[in-house]
């Protein structure tokens, strides 16, 4: 069983600084037995990154739809596991107002970082929270999951205007604002006619990221992890997609020479 001290040491060994901006995608099951469970894991990240910015996805895309269309950020559970849902309940944690791809954040700059998401019209709008991970030099930590869960790659595709990524028509949602008023927003959803889950193609970039040094293998508890540099992921993905914009879905694999 891992203690809080054990996990803090694992975080240090990765090379994460206390002032870093870090986005965590995680599987609690993969982390293993922890004294205090998921709450202890959250304690480790919140305390270690108290000088920086700690974030998790707080997605609701699985349940938000035409009939369940009112997004209440204070009440709507995340569809991405136990750690984000417990994190959302912590004092000082704020949530962005994106109806399907919100972010939970903690730190001195958290409130400023999440501003403006109610103006988004796509899942990972250019200039929004997911895209800005690269401009704030964020690290992305995947624990027990792969790039299939790396939402940031969706934002790269949006910036590069990769075709066939959205529904033809938007869905009308309403966002419950801090003053309790309802703000209507038309939001396009992820869609591709060839696959039910666009992100399942993202692991085709794994070796490119490792070889170019923008991602490395790490350990946290029992979980095999990948620690990534957001700006580096953007640069490598942009280089690969410059050869063929829709190659992640259209090709079985990516030629190595495309990222060297």
**pLDDT of 223-246, one tens digit each?**
999 999 999 999 999 999 999 999
The CA distance from 249 to 73, in Å, is: 33
Contact 240, 257 (CB under 8 A): no
DSSP H/E element including 175: strand 171-176
Nearest to 45 by CA among 124, 143, 130: 143
Pairing state between β 171-176 and 70-71: parallel
Q: How many domains does the chain have?
A: 1
Residues 76/40, Cβ–Cβ less than 8 Å? no
Rounded distance between C-alpha atoms, residue 73 and residue 226, angstroms? 29
Q: What are the Cα distances from residue 156, in Å, to 26, 91, 103, 213, 233?
A: 21, 32, 17, 18, 9
SS3 state of residue 214: coil
Cα-flanking dihedrals φ and ψ of residue 114, to 5°?
Answer: -85, 0
pLDDT at residue 196 is higher than 90: no
Q: Which of 45, 57, 39 is nearest to 20 (CA)?
A: 45
| 46: enclosing H helix or E strand | helix 37-48
| CA angle (88, 92, 97) in 5-degree steps | 55
Average pLDDT over residues 177-183: 96
Q: With beta carbons less than 8 A apart as the criterion, state whether 34 and 41 touch.
A: yes
The confidence band for 60, taking pLDDT boundaries of 50, 70 and 90, is very high
Domain assignment of residue 32, given as a range: 4-258
**Kind of pairing, strands 94-95 and 70-71?**
unpaired
pLDDT digits (tens, 9 = 90+) for 113-170: 999 999 999 999 999 999 999 999 999 999 999 999 999 999 999 999 999 999 999 9
């Amino acid at each position: 069983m891992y203690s809080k001290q054990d996990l803090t040491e694992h975080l240090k060994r990765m090379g994460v600084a206390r002032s870093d901006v870090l986005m965590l995608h995680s599987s609690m099951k993969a982390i293993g037995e922890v004294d205090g469970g998921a709450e202890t894991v959250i304690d480790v990240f919140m305390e270690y990154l108290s000088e920086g910015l700690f974030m998790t996805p707080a997605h609701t895309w699985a349940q938000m739809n035409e009939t369940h269309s009112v997004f209440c950020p204070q009440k709507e559970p995340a569809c991405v596991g136990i750690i984000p849902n417990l994190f959302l309940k912590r004092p000082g944690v704020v949530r962005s107002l994106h109806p399907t791809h919100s972010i939970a954040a903690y730190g001195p700059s958290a409130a400023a970082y999440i501003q403006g998401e109610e103006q988004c019209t796509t899942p990972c709008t250019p200039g929004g929270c997911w895209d800005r991970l690269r401009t704030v030099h964020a690290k992305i930590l995947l624990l027990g999951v792969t790039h299939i869960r790396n939402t940031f790659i969706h934002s790269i595709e949006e910036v590069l205007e990769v075709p066939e990524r959205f529904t033809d028509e938007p869905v009308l949602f309403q966002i419950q604002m801090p003053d309790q008023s309802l703000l209507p927003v038309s939001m396009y959803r992820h869609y591709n006619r060839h696959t039910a889950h666009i992100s399942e193609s993202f692991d085709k970039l794994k070796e490119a990221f490792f070889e170019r040094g923008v991602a490395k293998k790490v350990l946290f508890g029992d979980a095999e992890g990948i620690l990534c540099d957001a700006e580096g992921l953007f640069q490598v993905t942009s280089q690969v997609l410059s050869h063929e914009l829709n190659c992640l879905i259209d090709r079985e694999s990516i030629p190595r020479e495309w990222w060297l």
